[in-house]
Amino acid sequence: GLAAALSVIVPLAFGGEKGLSKGAVGGLLALPMLGMALGSVPGGFLADRFGALRVRVAGAILFGLGVIALVEAEAYGLGAMFAAAGLAGIGAAPLFPAALAIGTRDRGATGVYGAIQAAGQGGYALGNLALAIGAGLAALAGVEGVPPSRTLLVAAIAYVLVHLTVAIVAPT
């Protein structure tokens, strides 16, 4: 869900609302993906070493904090924004390898891979749907002019809180 919000809101918030160039917006979208690409293998090793659930929760929290930092870093300039986007990518790197490790722990892999893919795509769809529902509810409540960056901030905070809850209640 948060990756969907990131990919939708960054162009709206920083391209439209804040007036960043298309190149800067593209870089802000690409850096988390680059961090994921470069960090997925080390993230898998960390999941093997420290436990997939621990690493997934830690990565998710770091990803969420990176997105929060991205929204807030705008006041400090483009360099701070790029650093925050990179932090989000580093946090996101172990998410998929850890999910595979969790999902295949005591099961056959093929069905689990399909379920993980479905959950990922479903989460992406739900993230976009949540943005639309939130905008609709705000309009019904007469709230207008909420900047897209604030919407992303709320989504990232909720994401971090959900994963902190998982860290507290889930057995490792």
The DSSP annotation for 7-42 comes to HHHHIIIIIIIS---HHHHHHHHHHHHHHHHHHHHH
Instruction: Give the chain's mean pLDDT.
Output: 80
**Neighbouring C-beta atoms of residue 64, cutoff 10 Å:** 24
How far apart CA 1 and CA 10 sit, in angstroms, is: 14
Tens of pLDDT, residue by residue over 30-41, are 898 899 899 999
Do 4 and 128 form a contact (C-beta atoms < 8 A)? Answer: yes
Tens of pLDDT, residue by residue over 13-65, are 777 767 788 898 888 888 988 998 999 999 999 999 999 889 988 998 898 89
DSSP conformation class of 43: H
User: What count of Cα atoms within 13 Å lies in the side-chain half-sphere of residue 110?
Assistant: 0
